[in-house]
Structure formats: structure tokens, C-alpha cells
Structure 1
Amino acid sequence: MTTDFAYIKTIQQRIANNNDMKAYEALYKLLFPSLFRFSFSFVKSHEAAEEIVSDTFIKVWQQAAQLNHIHNLKAYLFTLTKNLSINYVTRCDKHILYTIDDFTYDHSITWQHPEDIFISGEAIRKINQAIHSLPSQCRIIFQLVKLEGLTYQEAADVLGLSLPTVRNQVTIGMKKLLQSLPAFQFTVPV
């Protein structure tokens, strides 16, 4: 799901300039599900992920005056959520080292537009299954870029990876998805 950058920017300005609680609630409702799934991929606990995302939004409220200095609030929130999630995992188990391959970002595809209702439940299941079958790093990057709408650079920043790595992983993900979903092959119109 791609979130409108301009809409988030408007909410961000309302929070920063006016301490607008309704704008804060709108931001929370808009991004909580995505941030929760992202945190859950690290902590593997619904309660911990919920608490981490709540802490993320508390930090946003506490730093409301500085929000005007953040160019992309959505990418900032994903980065903050990642850092809080890794801190939680580190506190819980100080003896195990984690890499990005240890995390699985599980994102269920949801459809927001009326024309999407024509896609059958079976098709949605196959798409989710194909995404889940991607290698872990590729899956996380693919989901952040293609499903959450982050740019390649934003995903690279959030995950601490290079831009070429993100580009390559998205390309690999697209190729593997197209290979595993032959019924969804698209042709370019002439």
C-alpha cells in the first residue's frame, strides 16, 4: 500500500506547528498497521510490537517541534521502529547476534480500491505465498518498496543497506514473483 507523501507531510506540519491531536491520531491510524507488521518481523511478539510502535508514536509526539526538520516522516518512523525493535531483541537476548536474514517481514496484501474486489481470494493467497517464498532479505526489501511505498533510498536507509543492494534485491524479487506467478504475466501494450 502506497501512502500519499503529501498527505503525510500535511499531517506532519499540523503536528509540528499546532500540536494537532487529530492530525496525530490520523498519522497513527494510517501508519500503525505497517509499523506493527514491521516491528513484529523483528520481535515475534504481538504485545512487544504493539508497545514498540506505541513508543515510536510517543517519540513523535514528544519531538513534535522538530518534525518540520524531517523530510520523509514515513521513512523516519520505519527507521525509528527498526531501531526500537532491534534494541528490544538485543535486551531480550544479549548472546545471539542477528542479521537481516533472521527477520521475516510478513505483510498481508490488502485491497483498498473497488476494482480490487475482482481479484479472487485464491489469487491473493498465491501472491502472498509467492512473496513469502522470497529469500528473507529480498522479501523485506521488496515489501518495504513495493507494498509500503518507500523509495529505494528510504528502504536502504531504514535497513542500513546500500542503494545498489536494494535495487538488486527488488529486481530479484520481481523476477522470482513473475516466474512463480505465470497467470499474472503482463504484456506491454504496443
Structure 2
Amino acid sequence: MDEREVSTPEADRGRDAGPPGPGSPSSPADPVLDEVTAVARAQDGDLAAFEALVDRYQAPIFRLAFRVLHDRPAAEDVVQETFVAAWRKLPTLIEPAAFRGWLYQVATRRSLDLLRRRRPQVSLDTDSAPELPGPAWEDPASSAERRAQLDELRRVLDALPEDLAVCWRLKELDGLAYAEIAAALGIPESTVRGRIARARRTLVERMEAWR
């Protein structure tokens, strides 16, 4: 992505102090502020606008990092590092409308960097995973079967080559478009489509017993 330097005295002072946290002094945040406007204001050093973006994306970024790392503390670190980097580098973003894909790019690269440093050990401890949605009530047999199916899916995903698994997770679990995934990973869109297709074929084959 092309970058340009944009800076204001107010933005520079705010960025020198680090990203805002809960209760940071700033103008009141507009709860219905649209994203493009929030990004543009944050680029000018508006802390309340940036806090609105953090509130909107911290949960999705955590889910992305956790799905890559399978480690809650590490995923929380990625979230923190992602928003620190976003606050500092936000003035270089040319198009405010591209913020979502740009933020995912930052988070994905940090997650993958950490994953590569931690290989080959990846935890399969589902007790530490965020709760997955299910029925409000189900009988113990059904609950056990559903959990076993989810455990098997995690094992299959963990067995996928890293490049296939990351593309599949970004598409199927985080809902990114092919172009956004391509931008996040720095690869052609055609490569993204190919990797997701291969991942889907593998998942269908290895989960056949659960169909």
C-alpha cells in the first residue's frame, strides 16, 4: 500500500504520548460517527475518534489473533501492539475508507510474525479458547458431540499449511473480502482464492465423517 506522511501539531503531540486508553481526556465520542469520518478525525489527532475505532475493532482483531495463535495472552498482546502501531502510523493512510483492511494487515502480520517465532508448538487446548456460539440449551450427548466436532475442526485447521489456514480463517471466520486478505498478506488476489479453495477441499475431505 502506498503511504504518505500527514502530520499536524495536535496529532504529533498526541502520538508522542502513545495511543489513548479508557478514560483518556478528549472530546466526547460520537456513538454514531461513521467510520470514514472517525478515521479522518483520528488522523488529525482526535483521541475520541480513535477510541471509537478501537471500540469497534478490538474484539474482531482479538479473534483474528487468537485464531492464528491459539493463545489468549499472545492474542491480547497483538491487539495492543496493533492499535499502538495504528495510532502512530494512521497519518500515513491515504484513504480513510481503507482503514479496515489496513488494520487487519497490521494485525495479521504481527500475528504471523509471532507464530513463526513460536513454531512448531501450537496449543490445541480448547479450554482456553473463546466460547463458540451454540444453542441456549442442548442435551449432554449433543453438547459432547458438538464439542468433539469443533475439536476435530481445530485439529484439521492446525494441520493445514500455515498459508492456507490463515487465508481460510480471514475469509470464513473474519469475513474479509478476497481483496482485503490479499492486501493484508501482501499477495495477489488470485493466490488468496487458490489457497482458500485448497483449504476448503481439505476441510471437506477430512471432516467427511462428521457430515
* TM score, norm. by length of structure 1: 0.62
Change (3 A) 1:87 1:32: closer
RMSD, matched Cα: 4.1
Deviation at 1:58, TM superposition (A): 2.4
Do residues 133 (structure 1) and 159 (structure 2) align?
yes
2:149 to 95, 116, 123: 123
Tell me the equivalent position of 1:92: none
Deviation at 1:82, TM superposition (A): 4.1
Do residues 171 (structure 1) and 211 (structure 2) align?
no
1:69 to 74, 91, 95: 95
Tell me the equivalent position of 2:55: 26
- Structure 2: gaps of 5 or more residues: 1-32
Contact in 2 for aligned 1:79/1:159 (Cα 8 Å): yes
* TM score, norm. by length of structure 2: 0.56
Where does 1:31-180 land on structure 2 (aligned, <5 Å)?
Answer: 31-37=60-66, 40=69, 46=73, 50-62=76-88, 69-84=95-110, 110-112=131-133, 114=135, 120-180=146-206
Percent identity, please.
18
Distance 2:67 2:89 in 1: 22
Distance 2:121 2:183 in 1: 17
Contact in 2 for aligned 1:152/1:167 (Cα 8 Å): yes
| Structure with greater helix percent | 1
Tell me the equivalent position of 1:13: 37
Deviation at 1:127, TM superposition (A): 1.5
Residue identity in the other structure for 1:132:
D
Give the number of the structure with larger relative contact order, counting CA–CA contacts within 8 Å between residues 6 or more apart: 1
The Cα offsets for residues 117-153 of structure 1, whole Å up to 9 and x where unpaired, read as: 7662111111112222222211111111111111111
Residue identity in the other structure for 2:132:
W
Residue identity in the other structure for 2:59:
L
The Cα offsets for residues 149-185 of structure 1, whole Å up to 9 and x where unpaired, read as: 1111111111111111111111111111111111454
How many residue pairs match? The answer is: 163
Residue identity in the other structure for 2:34:
T
